[in-house]
C-alpha cells in the first residue's frame, strides 16, 4: 500500500479471561479510507473493533498482547490517556443510543464535558456544523429542543454519528450501524459514511456483505479469531484469494 497507514496492528492477540478471542492479527488501515470487517458471529471482528478504542478494557479479564498503533503510537502503552484516545476514536453502535436529552444537548454534551467551546455561540455553531455534516440539520433545525427520542431510528443513528463527530475524532468505529434500520435509512447512512471518509478514517463491522461491498475501500474477513484475508473490496468480492473466503461470501457456509 502506498499510503502511510493510520492504524497499524502487529501480532495482536486478545483474550477474555485467558480464552483467546483474536489470534495474531496483522493489519494496516490507511487514512481516510473505509475498512470493513466481515465474518461469522463470534469471529472476533467486534472484539477487534472495540480494541481500537480500548472499549474492551471495561470487560473484566480482557487482556491483549502485541501492538495496535495509531499514527505509530501503541494505544496499549501505559502512558496512554484512555479518555483522550476515545475522544480521538469515536464509536457508533448497532442500536442508536441517544442520551435522554434534547437533540441539541446530545451533540453539545461532548463539547461541554471536554470544554471545547468558549461561548454559547461557538457551541451552537459547532452543533449546527456537526448536524449538517451528518445530513440531519435540515430535518431537525426547528426542533433542536425536542427530545432525541422523538426522532426516527435512522435519524437517531445519524444523530449518534453527529455526536461522535462533534469532538473531531480522527477515527470513527461503527459496529453494525444499520442493523436496526430500514433500507432507506440504511442507504442514507451508507451515503453519509462515504462522505465522512474525506475527513475521517472509518472502521466498520457489518453482517451485510453487500454493505461492505458498497461502502468499503478495503475489507477484512475474520474467522475463529483470525484474520483470514484482507484486500481491496473489489478484489475481495470478485476474486477472493482463499477458498474459505469465497465460501463465506457466497453464502455457502456461515
Alpha carbon 8 to its chain centroid, in Å, reads 16
Distance, CA of 146 to CA of 246 (rounded, Å)? 48
Q: Output the smallest distance, CB 184 to another protein, in A.
A: 18
Distance, CA of 64 to CA of 23 (rounded, Å)? 10
Query: Which segment (24-32, 66-74, 118-126, 134-142) binds another protein by CB under 8 A?
Result: 24-32
- What is the phi/psi pair of residue 110, to 5°? -60, -35
183 binds another protein (CB under 8 A): no
Q: Output the smallest distance, CB 45 to another protein, in A.
A: 16
Q: What share of the chain is helix, strand, coil (3-state, %, to 5)?
A: 40, 25, 35
1 binds another protein (CB under 8 A): yes
Query: Which segment (45-53, 63-71, 96-104, 239-247) binds another protein by CB under 8 A?
Result: 239-247
Burial class (CB in 10 A: 0-12, 13-18, 19+), 38: buried
3-state SS of 118-134 is CCHHHHHHHHHHHHHHC
210 binds another protein (CB under 8 A): yes
**Of 27, 105, 126, 174, which one interacts with another protein (CB under 8 A)?**
27
36 binds another protein (CB under 8 A): no
237 binds another protein (CB under 8 A): yes
Query: Which segment (13-21, 85-93, 139-147, 231-239) binds another protein by CB under 8 A?
Result: 231-239
Give the Å distances, CA to CA, from 197 to 12, 91, 100, 200. 25, 14, 29, 5
Query: Which segment (15-23, 48-56, 89-97, 207-215) binds another protein by CB under 8 A?
Result: 207-215
171 binds another protein (CB under 8 A): no
Distance, CA of 230 to CA of 36 (rounded, Å)? 10
Q: Output the smallest distance, CB 44 to another protein, in A.
A: 17
227 within 8 A of 45, measured Cβ to Cβ = no
28 binds another protein (CB under 8 A): yes
Specify the residue, 17 or 210, whose C-beta has the smaller distance to another protein: 210
- The residues binding another protein (CB under 8 A) are 1, 26-28, 209-210, 213, 229-232, 234-241, 245-246, 249-253
Amino acid at each position: 500500500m502506498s499510503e502511510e497507514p493510520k492504524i497499524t496492528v502487529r501480532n495482536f492477540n486478545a483474550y477474555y479471561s485467558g480464552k483467546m478471542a483474536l489470534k495474531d492479527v496483522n493489519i494496516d488501515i490507511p487514512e481516510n479510507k473505509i475498512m470493513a470487517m466481515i465474518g461469522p458471529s463470534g469471529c472476533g471482528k467486534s472484539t477487534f473493533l472495540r480494541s481500537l478504542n480500548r472499549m474492551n478494557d471495561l470487560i473484566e479479564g480482557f487482556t491483549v498482547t502485541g501492538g495496535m498503533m495509531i499514527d505509530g503510537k501503541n494505544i496499549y502503552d501505559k502512558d496512554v490517556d484512555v479518555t483522550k484516545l476515545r475522544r480521538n476514536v469515536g464509536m457508533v453502535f448497532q442500536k442508536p443510543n441517544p442520551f435522554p436529552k434534547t437533540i441539541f444537548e446530545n451533540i453539545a454534551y461532548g463539547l461541554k464535558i471536554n470544554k471545547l467551546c468558549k461561548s454559547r455561540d461557538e457551541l451552537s455553531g459547532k452543533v449546527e456544523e456537526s448536524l449538517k455534516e451528518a445530513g440531519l440539520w435540515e430535518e431537525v433545525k426547528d426542533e433542536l429542543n425536542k427530545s432525541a427520542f422523538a426522532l426516527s431510528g435512522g435519524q437517531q443513528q445519524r444523530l449518534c454519528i453527529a455526536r461522535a463527530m462533534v469532538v473531531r475524532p480522527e477515527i470513527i468505529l461503527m459496529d453494525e450501524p444499520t442493523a436496526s434500520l430500514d433500507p432507506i435509512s440504511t442507504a442514507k447512512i451508507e451515503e453519509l459514511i462515504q462522505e465522512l471518509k474525506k475527513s475521517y478514517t472509518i472502521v466498520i463491522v457489518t453482517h451485510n456483505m453487500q454493505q461492505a461491498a458498497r461502502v468499503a475501500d478495503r475489507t477484512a474477513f475474520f474467522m475463529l479469531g483470525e484474520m483470514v484475508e484482507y484486500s481491496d473490496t473489489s478484489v475481495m468480492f470478485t476474486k477472493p484469494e482463499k477458498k474459505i473466503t469465497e465460501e463465506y461470501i457466497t453464502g455457502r457456509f456461515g
